[in-house]
Amino acid sequence: MVSTAPVAPSSTNRSANRSENKADTAEIASSLQYLSLAAADDSPNQRLLPLTAEVNEKDHLVVGGCDVVDLIAEFGSPLYILDEQTLRTACRQYKEAFERHYPGESLIVYASKAWNCLAVCAIAAQEGVTIDVVSGGELRTAVDAGADPANLYFHGNNKSRDELKLGLDHNVHIVVDNWHEMQMLNALAGEAGKKATILLRLTPGIECHTHEYIQTGHIDSKFGFDPEQLEDVFKFISEQGKHLNCVGLHAHIGSQIFELQPHHDLAEVMVRWFQVANKYGLPIQQLDIGGGLGIRYTESDDPPSIDEWSKTVCESLAAACAKNDLPLPKILCEPGRSLVGSACVTAYTVGGQKTVPGIRKYVSVDGGMSDNPRPITYQSEYRVLAANKMSAPLSETMRLAGKHCESGDVIIQSASLPTLEAGEILVVPATGAYNYSMSSNYNRVPRPAAVLVNNGQADLILQRETYEDLVRHDRLPESLKPQQ
């Protein structure tokens, strides 16, 4: 086995290291060089590939000790490949960073909408990371995976009556998003003879430089109570919310964020809310600052490390509480993408090719927008590696296209790759977040399988769908059935 992981530079000057890293990788000559895009402290979110990625004597990409080419032969293509070590490392780095930088109590909550399945939830639970869910289905999955229901956090801007009842039945923390939900939950808890444990989601009015679809902290958002509603909300709970036990406040400012200043600003805003809630006698014990730390999708991406981000939010909240002479609340954060995104790669098999003279070359693979809808939805950028010949020179520029009957089904607009032949294996890194969870059966394409890899062992965690799965829930009226 030939490892290409670099020697980590000193972390005494992060800005200088970043500049050097960009300069060193300005010209990528072969897929092999993508393995050298490592951070000084090996923060998983700063890696383009999983922590265990290396190249073997066959010049094949290896993840979790497993040859990607062999995985395709065994489990089929396309294939999600999840590296257990990278996911566990990210969980531990978050926990250790908050314990190191925050003088009070802390809790890491995995935002499972990034990838909610039994295996991912089970790993998070084993690492002492609790889980946030945004639907009854995610809640059921987390519970079945072994998560403690009493530590689950149930988000969502339009939870149904049945979902709220499910949350009550499991005694989860319910993050209340609006008046309708708060009043319905108060009534449901009364009918059940319970007191619901809730946090209030509030809109902080902070915007970040990210895609408009994943900005959630600015005022013009579907999420949360607006600031001018605060006094009325707190008053309702203190006077009429007899079946609501409000223990915390929640805010979230967006996703795939590289900036640190907005998180510093958020601490000041949340402490002001904390003071107003105290005025109404609410037993606020938790402040949930959301998540949003970005990851590296391309060599030019430069996100802060997990430790840098954690240090900012912890020290900012502690300072704001000290400034206002307030006791330290329990701080919660909700990483999703930065926990699981860099832990997974998606492997594809090359199919047909087409050259448009004077314009471009197209190379098609056996997946696309049904297993990775982010490029067509968010114009997201990715890189791609030649997994079966990692040291081959990147001699051609081509458009990597999906197989779906849609002109916009393009995974990468301009990809640098070696000369390719049908049947060769390509890998797109950083596909652990919002890829499987947003996948679909567009064109009635079955969803791919997913495997968990660790120390040379590969275990199936999501079975590949079949054509039988696609028609399982179809119903054909008698009048439409073929005549015998």
Answer whether 252's CB lies under 8 Å from 223's CB: yes
Q: Is 74 annotated as a binding residue?
A: no
Tokens of residue 311, six digits? 């240090």
Q: Is 128 annotated as a binding residue?
A: no
Gap between the Cα atoms of 455 and 69, Å rounded: 16
HEC string of the chain equals CECCCCCCCCCCCHHHHHHHHHHHCCCCCEHHHHHHCCCCCCCHHHCCCCCCCEECCCCCEEECCEEHHHHHHHHCCCEEEEEHHHHHHHHHHHHHHHHHHCCCCEEEEEEHHHCCCHHHHHHHHHCCCEEEECCHHHHHHHHHCCCCHHHCEECCCCCCHHHHHHHHHCCCEEEECCHHHHHHHHHHHHHHCCCEEEEEEECCCCCCCCCHHHCCCCCCCCCCECHHHHHHHHHHHHHCCCCEEEEEEECCCCCCECCCHHHHHHHHHHHHHHHHHHHCCCCCCEEECCCCECCCCCCCCCCCCHHHHHHHHHHHHHHHHHHCCCCCCEEEECCCHHHHHHHEEEEEEEEEEEEECCCEEEEEECCCCCCCCHHHHHCCCCCCEECCCCCCECCEEEEEECCCCCCCCEEEEEEEECCCCCCCEEEEECCCCCCCCCCCCHHHCCCCEEEEEECCEEEEEECCCCHHHHHCCCCCCHHHCCCC
Give catalytic status of residue 405 as yes or no.
yes
CA-wise closest residue to 64 among 364, 456, 356, 373: 456
| Integer angstrom CA distances of residue 327 from 104, 230, 269, 286, 322 | 9, 21, 16, 11, 8
Tokens of residue 247, six digits? 């223990």
Q: Is 110 annotated as a binding residue?
A: no
Q: Is 373 annotated as a binding residue?
A: no
Answer whether 428's CB lies under 8 Å from 382's CB: yes
Q: Is 327 annotated as a binding residue?
A: no
Answer whether 229's CB lies under 8 Å from 205's CB: no
Gap between the Cα atoms of 258 and 240, Å rounded: 41
Q: Is 292 annotated as a binding residue?
A: yes
Q: Is 334 annotated as a binding residue?
A: yes
Q: Is 280 annotated as a binding residue?
A: no
Catalytic residue among 121, 246, 344, 405: 405
Q: Is 382 annotated as a binding residue?
A: no
Binding site per annotation, positions for substrate: 337, 374, 378, 406, 434
Binding site per annotation, positions for pyridoxal 5'-phosphate: 292, 334-337, 434
Catalytically annotated residues? 405
